Structure 1
Amino acid sequence: MERQEEGKKILAQNRKARHDYFIEETFEAGIVLTGTEVKSARQGRINLKDSYAYVKNGELYVLNMHISPYEQGNRFNHDPLRTRKLLLHRREIDRLIGKTREEGYTLVPLSVYLRRGRIKVELALAKGKKLHDKREALREKAVRREAERAFRGRLK
């Protein structure tokens, strides 16, 4: 779950998103969290499955991102599935508004990670795959894996 890359510690990934969507473009967004959410997120207790982002009143929000309640928290613990605000530059939000109005585009969080002590969300502008596209992607993956296996066998 942890991968150090350019000072970035990955806390959670949405692997299903790359299977279900064609990723057109990615953005790095900050996220507004409460104290116990930050502590829980730093422990990697985040689930991005079925989460998505939307624009409302010129602001960006993420829905269905599950951050488990902090174990040492008390009555100040948070609601695990509450709607959370994402922080992006105005230009980027305006561009996303235009793109998401197009047919078939949606905003999907790909990963949550720490960068310089701040929790960031990698957000993707994505277009949904049809069933035949998913099958084709699985076929290509199997062929690639088989080719690697054959290549490794020749090296020995």
Structure 2
Amino acid sequence: MAKGTGKVLAQNKKAGHDYFIEETYEAGLVLTGTEIKSIRSGKVQLKDSHIRIRNGEAWVYNMHVSPFDQGNRFNHDPLRNRKLLLHKKQIGQLVGAVKRDGYTIVPLKMYIKDGYAKLLIGLGKGKKDHDKRDDLRKKEAKREMERVFKDRQR
């Protein structure tokens, strides 16, 4: 199965708008019992989350996983930092890239693959305002062409 395929539970659409994604990695997550239950029910949000490398380990910050409805006093903290499972070589590549100017690691989407929760992370370079405007212009032109083409087929 290709990387990034499976039942998509959450997507960070803002990442594609704010960054040029150059490379993607598939990472597992270290989760507690109630967290995986909430994730399987789709109660996860990646909007403001980001990834840092600390002591040779990758961690995801600000990923919101809602508390499990049937959870008890052992329910998890919704915004706790979660460890990502990556190979040492991949972490080394990410550290080297982040030290370069303007690169950052952003979560792109979360999905279930072979029964495990996976996070697709991307190495991205920040877009400038004019790049974002160009992308919006291209997107709008494409929509307009599709609209005209659809009207002609009728």
Give the TM-score category using the shorter length. Answer: over 0.9
The sequence identity of aligned pairs, in percent, is: 58
2:136 matches 1:138: yes
Contact 1:7/1:116, CA 8 A, preserved across alignment: no
Q: Which residue of 1 aligns with 2:73?
A: 75
Q: Offset at 1:129?
A: 1.0
2:147 matches 1:149: yes
Q: Please show how residues 3-152 of structure 1 align to structure 2 within 5 Å.
A: 8-152=6-150
Deviations 1:10-36 (A, max 9, x none): 010001111111111111000000000
TM-score with structure 1 length normalisation? 0.94
Q: What is the rounded CA distance, in whole Å, between the counterparts of 1:90 and 1:82 in structure 2?
A: 23
Q: Provide structure 1 residue ranges, at least 5 long, that are not aligned to the other structure.
A: none
Q: What is the rounded CA distance, in whole Å, between the counterparts of 1:57 and 1:141 in structure 2?
A: 41
Q: Secondary structure at the match of 1:138?
A: helix
One-letter code of the match for 2:22? E
Q: What is the rounded CA distance, in whole Å, between the counterparts of 1:19 and 1:44 in structure 2?
A: 23
Q: Offset at 1:155?
A: 1.6
Contact 1:110/1:122, CA 8 A, preserved across alignment: yes
Contact 2:4/2:26, CA 8 A, preserved across alignment: no
One-letter code of the match for 2:46? L
Q: Offset at 1:130?
A: 1.2
Q: What is the rounded CA distance, in whole Å, between the counterparts of 2:139 and 2:5 in structure 1?
A: 29
Q: What RMSD, in angstroms, separates the aligned Cα atoms of the two structures?
A: 1.4
Q: Offset at 1:108?
A: 0.4
Q: What is the rounded CA distance, in whole Å, between the counterparts of 1:56 and 1:34 in structure 2?
A: 21
Q: Secondary structure at the match of 1:30?
A: strand
TM-score with structure 2 length normalisation? 0.95
One-letter code of the match for 1:120? K
Q: Secondary structure at the match of 1:40?
A: helix
